[in-house]
Amino acid sequence: MTRSKRDRTAGVLTMKPSTQVRAGFACSLIAALATLVLGLPVRGHAATRPQVPQASAVQAPGAVRLELLTAVQRTSLPDSVIVTLINGRTATMAQLRQEHNVRMQRFANARLLGSSSLQKIPLNQHPGNLGSNKSPLPMPPVQYAAKDYTDFCTAAQATACLYFPAGVSSYAIYAPFGISSLPAVIDFDPLITDSAVCSAGGGFMMQNNEGCGYAYPVIVTPNFTPGNYTAPATGGCSNGMFSETYDPHGAVQIQYTSAIPIVTTNTPPPGLVCIVRVIPN
């Protein structure tokens, strides 16, 4: 790992990533929905604002535009009905219902998956920490993140954590009105139309009746009080998709850097994961 440039304001190191995760993104996240872009690879440059087609009950022969369906229709239509999603994907109602069920089960199992990662993900534990009975430094909350992200990372005892759950056919990126993309990808559930249910899972209602969106950070930069630390333990970060930067003076950063779109359809649980634990000596 390499050390980042440091700003010693008030004696606390602050890392300077190109796109910084901040606790105040919750409001920006909601505003950013106006320019949601689906199915693109994660990149640091601005995304293009999509052109929303004019409302039409039928997108193509036999395919109904899902955002034009009411909540009752989404519940009652036969499994065989074919729908077109906002990203152009076509699927049957049976497929969407199966994906919804898998998603809800994923949320229910997030803590268990995080706890299991303590054994399943090999950690390059620094010799100086072997046998230590001290707990890793906890990761500060990411205010806009989905609840299963928070539950997984907390149970995994991560100081820094990226988690892209298994079983997602496409994540979304978005840019607020042409500026740089915010540091998260979205898994959206078009069958969740109740704002209370959406909010309970850490999600937000998307515009144009598109359902509920759940955000997963692509970069986190926790700062912590400078102290006596050895090189951190890491897990799942060495597959060429992530970068990690650590400075014992008070910061660690992990980022999804691959140009490959995040697709976890065939990825076994828990999914794509990068965990860093900083443990005091």
pLDDT at residue 280, rounded to an integer:
78
User: Residue 16 domain-assigned?
Assistant: yes
119 three-class SS = helix
Pinpoint the alpha helices (H) of the chain.
25-32, 71-76, 93-120, 147-155, 195-200
User: Residue 59 domain-assigned?
Assistant: no
User: Residue 57 domain-assigned?
Assistant: no
User: Residue 53 domain-assigned?
Assistant: no
Q: Identify the domain containing residue 138 by its residue range.
A: 9-42+111-277
User: Residue 169 domain-assigned?
Assistant: yes
Cα 225 to the chain's mean position, in Å? 26
User: Residue 255 domain-assigned?
Assistant: yes
pLDDT tens digits, 101-140 = 999 999 999 999 999 887 765 555 555 555 556 778 899 9
- pLDDT, greater one: 86 or 147: 147
User: Residue 124 domain-assigned?
Assistant: yes
pLDDT tens digits, 135-178 = 788 999 998 899 999 999 999 989 999 999 999 988 876 544 33
pLDDT at residue 62, rounded to an integer:
74
User: Residue 91 domain-assigned?
Assistant: no
Q: Residue 199 — φ and ψ, nearest 5°?
A: -65, -35
pTM: 0.75
Total domains in the chain come to 1
